[in-house]
Amino acid sequence: MHGRLGQPAVLLLGSLGADRRMWDPQVRALAGRWRVITADLRGHGRSPAPGGPYRMAELAEDVLDVLGAVNERRVHLVGLSLGGAVAQTLALARPELVASLTLVSTAARFGTPETWRGKSELVAARGTAALADAVVGNWFTDDCRRMRPELPRRFAEGIRATPDAGYAGCCGALAGFDSREALAGLAPRLARRTLVIAGEQDTSTPLPVVRDLHGRIPGSAMITVSPAKHLLTAERPELVNPILAGWFAGG
């Protein structure tokens, strides 16, 4: 947690296989004006990693516990990838808690349930190291991997450090996640305060998938960042941070 009690609060929810440190560039940029809260999702970082599979509603309940623990009743909610699915779930269930919603590199549905069950089985059998390099290969552009190899290397190490039970459990949550129909019922006030951000070169949640999410939230706005792939908050913070600050300040 960064910033002072009483400042408007921002809550950042991250990607599968990444802990709260993925948001360090945003914390540095935003903490002077907002109270910035970063949370490790279940099975990640310092959070417990019980056996799974998990349900997305459980991950959202965990976030509610975080808000209670830090005494915040209303936040600007930001979620990237898996964190975006958790953010959607929370915004649909408790819209009164969300001042604005920012969905980054995320979707209303991620592939097929079979794909996620397969990943869960792979991790259960061989550990997170079995997919770390392949996953991170889709997170950063070729230029980033060539010019700043330490960045993707750090995130690959982060996936390897993620507990197998936590990673597999969250794969289970993604297998069961589908907000496509529910998003039509998002509170109109919140729909108009929803921003969808995509990396133009993203191959994990490709641009058409993110555009579909945007199209399912009437009144939402969308911004595309380029060149950027999935983890654009880490690769292009100089572009993303002003977007976030402007969006939070707007309402």
pLDDT tens profile 134-190:
999 999 999 999 999 999 999 999 999 999 999 999 999 999 999 999 999 999 999
CA 43 to centroid of chain Cα atoms = 14
The SS3 call for residue 108 is: coil
What are the sequence ranges of the domains in the chain? 9-249
Residues 6+ apart with CB under 8 A from 60: 86, 89, 90, 93
pLDDT value at residue 79: 98
What is the token pair recorded at 201?
A: 């070169």
Tell me the average pLDDT across 51-64: 96
- 1 pLDDT higher than 60: no
Cα torsion through 108, 111, 112, 117, rounded to 10: -110
Domain topology for 9-249: Rossmann fold (3.40.50)
User: What is the arithmetic mean of pLDDT over 39-59?
Assistant: 96
- Tell me phi and psi for residue 153, to 5 degrees: -60, -40
pLDDT bracket for residue 24 (50, 70, 90): very high
Instruction: With cut-offs at 50, 70 and 90, classify the pLDDT of residue 4.
Output: low
